[in-house]
Every structure is written in structure tokens, then in C-alpha cells.
Amino acid sequence: MATDCIFCKIVAGEIPAEKVAETDTTLAFRDINPKAPLHVLVIPKVHHPDAASLASAEPQIAAEVLSQAGVVARQEGYEDYNLVFNTGAGAGQTVFHAHVHVLGGLDASKLFLA
């Protein structure tokens, strides 16, 4: 656990979150400031600063985060969804504990990459 990491504190139960799924190594909870009809974050319980660092250090857990993103989307009723990994402050990352945004219900025609 990293000190002063808000997501480590959610994993530890020290601050509340609306959990939607949990495995031995991952946790999924609703984003506090949703940007889409479905906006869930899937995180590894172990602390790594971003998704690529996680994948380099613990590829099995990175795979489980990705797998759980799909599980959560389908559980929430979305077969189609977007996964976003903001990496670095310049790219909008504000919490430096690896996470994937699971976004459902966005208008695909308005997406940056569409």
C-alpha cells in the first residue's frame, strides 16, 4: 500500500466506494464523477503508478484487470464499451494508482478516435 494513495485507501476500506465487483487481485467501483452512463474504474489491489507499469511488473494482474473490465461492462448491461487508461499528468491522469476507466453508453460518433 502506498501512503497517500486514494485508491489504496479504497482497497483497504479506509474510504468508501460503490463497489461493483471484486476478485482476489482487483476491485471495481463507480467513478465518483461519472463521464458516461456507465463509468466504473477497475484497479489492481496492488499499487503501481499506471497501467503500463503494472503490466511490466505483474502481467497476470494486468490481464485480470482487463478481464474484469469486460466482466463489469457485461454485468452492467453493456456489450459495447470503451476502456481508457490515462497515463501521466499531461494526459489527464490524476490518480497515480493503475486503473482502467470502463465507459458505457457514450456516443461513438463523438469520440476523439472515432
Q: Which of 63, 74, 79, 56 is nearest to 23 (CA)?
A: 63
Return d(Cα 13, Cα 34) in angstroms, integer.
21
Task: Please give the size of the binding site for ligand AMP, defined by CB under 6 A.
Answer: 12
48 is annotated as an active-site residue: no
60 binding ligand AMP? (CB under 6 A): no
Which residue in 6, 46, 66, 106 binds ligand AMP (CB under 6 A)? 6
The answer to whether the CB of 27 falls within 8 A of the CB of 18 is: no
Which residue in 25, 31, 46, 66 binds ligand AMP (CB under 6 A)? 31
12 binding ligand AMP? (CB under 6 A): no
Residue that is written with C-alpha cell 452512463 in the block = 37
Residue that is written with C-alpha cell 464523477 in the block = 33
Binding site residues, ligand AMP, CB under 6 A: 6, 17, 29, 31-33, 41, 86, 92-95
